[in-house]
Amino acid sequence: MKKILVTGGLGFIGSHTVVELVKAGYEPVIVDDLSNSHISILDQLATIIGFKPVFHQVDLADEAAVRQLTITEPQVEGIIHFAAFKAVGESVQFPLKYYRNNFYSLVNLLNAYYGKSLNFVFSSSCTVYGQPDQLPVTEDAPVKPAQSPYGNTKQVAEEILKDMIASGSNYKVISLRYFNPVGAHESALIGELPLGVPQNLVPFITQTAIGKREKVTVFGDDYNTPDGSCIRDYIHVVDLAKAHVAALKLMEQDSFTGYDVFNIGTGKGTSVLEIIQAFERATGVKLNYTVGPRRGGDVEQVWGDVTKSTEKLNWKAELDVDTMMSSAWAWEKAIAQKAL
Ligand code: WQD
């Protein structure tokens, strides 16, 4: 069975990808430093997949620890690299924390397994596009100057990977540019676990609906969009997880060489107000929200052209916005019951 290292594997997208890897017949090995995840997710995963996956607590920014990992896990056929800090606002406050963790982790990992001709999937983001000149945005759209150190770490990481391939490494690499991942596994055993006050829209909505937050503030309804609120390409985290399996399978084909990049979204734009309406429709819960001022750094509208992913990655998102909202709500209720 092909062993796949999943760094950040106890995180939101990582844990959902572990489930899809097992369903596809791979053996996931989870590496996580638990800085932004919870060890209880390991037991939740065991309940879903029927066994407890191998787990190593490792700070990938620590070079010696990563070298030790290659001794513990020498027979790795692929790596899916999620491990990184990802809060836009926090990255502006603490840029060095973001550059250290996100770059040291990536370079340490690539160095440690260098020469083993691995298939490497990198977790990138639509953030690299900034506000695209044309919508939907395609993979060959220009990468705009990053709006945050977080976005910069994603842009530079893609350059690091391309330079490594160009130097003749025998890695195969695919970068997946995620749009906005939301929702949760149908079991409500895993989902998004925002530590502290959620920065992202959907966890703020579900925490407001459960009573943890007083109301949702819509950050601006005076944008140049149909209802005035910002537009994003929201994608169910399970569809997103399946894209990582598709990326491994593409790299397992002899015809794939070097490096490629794919948009992982639905190809459909949805506004903040439409997300709120979808949540109320899907759950029957009336949401307390008001319109407030714009949030600095927000892109007005972005959604992905997913033609390349559909045709070359052989992957397409299947779950709709109502399913995203109902699964996110089921997860929030499960957290409340477990007081997770
Ligand atoms: C979505 C929309 C807000 C909260 C970020 C990162 C991106 C990725 C996903 C990691 C925006 C509006 C939000 C609220 C609101 N992260 N909003 N009220 O900013 O599109 O993307 O998270 O990979 O890289 O940039 O996601 O969920 O924060 O915001 O009105 O309380 O919801 O203004 O228009 P974003 P988000």
Q: Report, as ranges of residue numbers, the positions in the chain whose pLDDT lies below 50.
A: none
The pLDDT value recorded for residue 338 is 83
Ligand 1 center to 33 CA (angstroms): 25
The pLDDT value recorded for residue 196 is 86
Using DSSP, state whether 225 is helix, strand or coil. coil
Give residues (CB < 6 A) around ligand 1. 86, 88, 125, 127, 178, 180, 199-201, 204, 216-219, 230, 232, 272, 295, 298
88, 197, 233, 271, best to mutate for ligand 1 pocket (most atoms within 8 Å of CB): 88
d(CA 300, CA 260): 27
Q: In this structure, is the dihedral angle defined by the CA atoms of residues 52, 57, 63 and 67, taken in order, positive or negative?
A: negative
36, 224, 295, best to mutate for ligand 1 pocket (most atoms within 8 Å of CB): 295
Active-site residue 129, yes or no?
no
pLDDT digits (tens, 9 = 90+) for 212-225: 999 999 999 999 99
Ligand 1 center to 201 CA (angstroms): 6
Our CA dihedral for 331, 337, 338, 340, rounded to 10 degrees, sits at: 60
Ligand 1 center to 202 CA (angstroms): 9
Give the H/E segment covering residue 112: helix 95-112
Nearest CA to ligand 1 atom 13: 201
Q: Where are the domains of the chain?
A: 3-182+236-265
The class that CATH gives domain 3-182+236-265 is alpha beta
Q: Which of the residues 98, 113, 129, 150 is marked catalytic? A: 150
The pLDDT value recorded for residue 339 is 64
Ligand 1 center to 232 CA (angstroms): 8
DSSP 133-191: SSSSBPTTSPPPPPSSHHHHHHHHHHHHHHHHHHTT---EEEEEEE-EEE---TTSSS-
Give the H/E segment covering residue 89: helix 88-93
The pLDDT value recorded for residue 297 is 84
pTM above 0.95, yes or no: yes
Using DSSP, state whether 241 is helix, strand or coil. helix
